[in-house]
Amino acid sequence: MPPVTKPGHEKYDVVFIGGGSGGVAGSRRAASYGAKVALIEATEKLGGTCVNVGCVPKKIMWHAADIAEKIRHAEGYQFKGPGIGQPQFDWASFKPQRDAYIRRLNGIYDNNVAKEGVELHHGKARLLSPSSVQVTRPDGSTYTLNTDRVVVATGGRPTVPSDDEIPGASLGIDSDGFFDLAAQPKRVAVVGAGYIAVELAGVLHTLGSDVTMLIRGETVLRTFDPTLGETLTKWMKHTGIDFRHGSKVARVEGTKGGELTVHLASGETLTVDTLIWAIGRHANTEGLGLAELGVKLDEKGNVVVDEYQETDVPGVLALGDVAGKALLTPVAIAAARRLSNRLYGPEKFKNDKLSYEDIPTVVFSHPTIGTVGLTEPEARKKYGDDQIKIYKSSFRALYFSMVPEERKEPSVYKLIVAGPEERVVGIHILGLGSDEVMQGFGVAVKMGATKEDLDSTVAIHPTSAEELVTLR
């Protein structure tokens, strides 16, 4: 069902701005309770960052890279024949295939929104008041939606330095641009040390590109538990990724889409085909009229909300990446559904809200990472050194027993417990399958599991996951 071209109601119960994960989830849930709901999306595609230029196409690219690794490992398992040990990846053919799948998801999102009775509007939104939103359609025409509430769920976008800050910075691309690459670049420089930088660098390197990581510190993933960053950095170097520590890009020369020369502040230069900026993200709040209404933004431009996703302006709420807390798709979805439950659902949901504690997450690195709860430094700061105990195991997954030594990926499992009852306050794992292992253990941590609870669980053998219930 195509977007409408004018309001279908004189007044709505709620207008969601932004057709990403949060906006779609919240609008559908509200409409399922019978609320009159409008959803405004500026682009022609629903799904936001996750579906179009984030989690989904990223994971597909990770799967492609993982298969490349399996082809290399196959020699150790005595597979023979053409191509074994030397994967040949056809990026140019794979990209349109991947894009076609994303378009299919866009269609599913369109159908799901329509099926729930959400009224979809295509255009740019601007709040005129806490109860009225102006929609500017692609042809420039405008109309206004009157509503009881407005939920801002406009997400965020990659941060890229301006050419004034770093001359030639615009010659590089960001994570969105990575998914526009029609051909695989042979030489790539990735600026940044966060999970997006790590994931993109890992995919490119594993598929055969020469990758250089330009980072400021000594390890990647500095906001994660130190054990994870230290172990992954060491392994990435071992696999052949070039690291330039303490790096700062001074200027970039060349032509967009062509060969680039990256000049570092140290005087070093790099010649690459593609420069990727992965230095962070910032909220999409420009042009929404928030400041004019008195909606408070923090120093980073995120919308400030309370535990119920409400801003300091009655009737205006915000959730997802635009609110700047736990920038993860499932977080936006969970917050949005709980908000609609509370506002429009049955009595049992009258106090529903998302708890932002103990949110599990993964990094699709090579190997993958899973994490939930406090890091070791955070736990020691919160509870005190004398109240914290660390259980840790380093090993190689059984899968690698048939693989040459230089290709045996590390696994590290770390359990952080607090107090005499040894309540589990943090789990941090790296290694084969960690992305799938973490979901179940995330439930355990959320339920307040203790070390004794894990110990009393019979291990599943032979698996990597059993390490978490056999740690001593």
Active site residues: 461
Helix, strand, coil share of the chain (percent; to 5): 35, 25, 40
- Asked whether 304 and 297 are in contact (CB, 8 A), the reply is yes
Find the radius of gyration of the CA atoms of the chain.
24
CA distance 324 to 125: 20
CA distance 300 to 294: 16
CA distance 338 to 332: 10
Secondary structure E strands in 35-87: 37-41
CB atoms under 10 Å from CB of 240, counted, come to 9
For 80-97, letters b (16+ CB in 10 Å) and e give: eeeeeeebebebeeebee
Q: Which amino acid appears at position 67 of this protein?
A: I
Q: Which residue has the tokens 């207008």?
A: 15
Task: Tell me if residue 278 falls in helix, strand or coil.
Answer: coil
Tokens of 28: 């559908």
Show the DSSP H helices in 396-456 as ranges: 434-446, 451-455
Q: How far is CA 266 from CA 190, 215, 246, 247, 348, in A?
A: 17, 13, 9, 7, 60
CA distance 414 to 63: 26
CA distance 142 to 182: 36
Show the DSSP H helices in 310-374 as ranges: 329-344
CB atoms under 10 Å from CB of 42, counted, come to 18
Closest to 129 measured CA to CA, from 1, 295, 275: 295
| CA dihedral over 122, 126, 129, 134, signed as positive or negative | negative
